[in-house]
């Protein structure tokens, strides 16, 4: 009998526990004797090249992919559960790949940012949330006031939408304390401008 597949999405800001939740769900499936595989974008090498790691350093083995389509080259015939971390770093093709995996009867669990540092939808996660059977949106803690946070504040770096970083580059913020700008870079620019003008 064909297994019924489905898609689960764990979405939210940085430091909301998305990866930790992904690891927990995959490990629970392994306790149930289900064959699982975890994949990640190759550009996410912040903590480990061949593991998915939460910010508190909880680890699980993962296969790095340059493209989401490479998943077919690594997928085992007996795999029942597929975990995909940092889904926002893949192209929009992630949506169709997840559809295809679930159509094969696999449980697909994807974790990723639903908004970028400008507070805008971070595709392909929002589209994936729309077609998923289950969506979880854990929240972080605002580094300014301690309230629940759903935004990712960029502290420094380029204005690119995709830029891998951690605590030195990003913070979790609530709506009140979030600003869609690069804080430290703008502060540095202002200091340089004031220095140049003698202010």
Mean pLDDT of 76-94: 97
184 versus 56: the higher-pLDDT residue is: 184
Residues 90 and 65: their CA atoms lie apart, in Å, by 9
Q: Is 72 exposed, middle or buried (0-12, 13-18, 19+ CB in 10 A)?
A: exposed
Torsion of CA 145, 150, 151, 155, to 10 degrees: 50
Contact 20, 56 (CB under 8 A): yes
pTM of the model as a whole: 0.86
Contact 22, 83 (CB under 8 A): yes
Encoding tokens for residue 30? Answer: 């392994």
Residues 92 and 59: their CA atoms lie apart, in Å, by 27
Residues 80 and 33: their CA atoms lie apart, in Å, by 10
User: Residue 43's pLDDT is what?
Assistant: 87
> What amino acid positions are annotated as catalytic residues?
86
Longest alpha-carbon distance in the chain: 77
Q: Which residue has the tokens 């990723």?
A: 112
159 versus 138: the higher-pLDDT residue is: 138
Is pLDDT above 70 for 3?
no
pLDDT in tens, 31-45: 999 999 999 999 876
Any idea which fold 6-197 has? Rossmann fold (3.40.50)
DSSP code of residue 66: S
**Residue extents of the structural domains in the chain:** 6-197
Mean pLDDT of 109-129: 97
Confidence of residue 195 (pLDDT cuts 50, 70, 90): very low
């Amino acid at each position: 009998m064909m297994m019924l597949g489905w898609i689960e999405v764990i979405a939210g800001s940085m430091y909301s526990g998305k990866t930790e939740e992904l690891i927990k769900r995959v490990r629970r499936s392994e306790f149930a004797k289900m064959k699982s595989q975890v994949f990640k974008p190759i550009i996410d090498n912040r903590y480990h090249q061949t593991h998915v790691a939460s910010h508190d350093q909880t680890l699980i083995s993962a296969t790095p992919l340059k493209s989401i389509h490479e998943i077919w080259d690594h997928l085992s015939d007996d795999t029942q559960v597929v975990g995909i971390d940092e889904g926002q770093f893949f192209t929009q093709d992630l949506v169709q790949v997840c559809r295809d995996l679930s159509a094969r009867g696999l449980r697909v669990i994807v974790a990723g940012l639903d908004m970028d540092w400008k507070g805008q939808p971070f595709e392909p996660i929002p589209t994936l949330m729309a077609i998923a059977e289950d969506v979880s949106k854990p929240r972080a803690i605002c580094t300014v006031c301690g309230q629940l946070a759903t935004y990712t504040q960029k502290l420094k770096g380029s204005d690119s939408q995709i830029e891998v970083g951690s605590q030195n580059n990003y913070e979790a913020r609530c709506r009140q304390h979030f600003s869609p700008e690069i804080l430290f870079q703008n502060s540095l620019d202002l200091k340089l401008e004031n220095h140049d003008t003698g202010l």
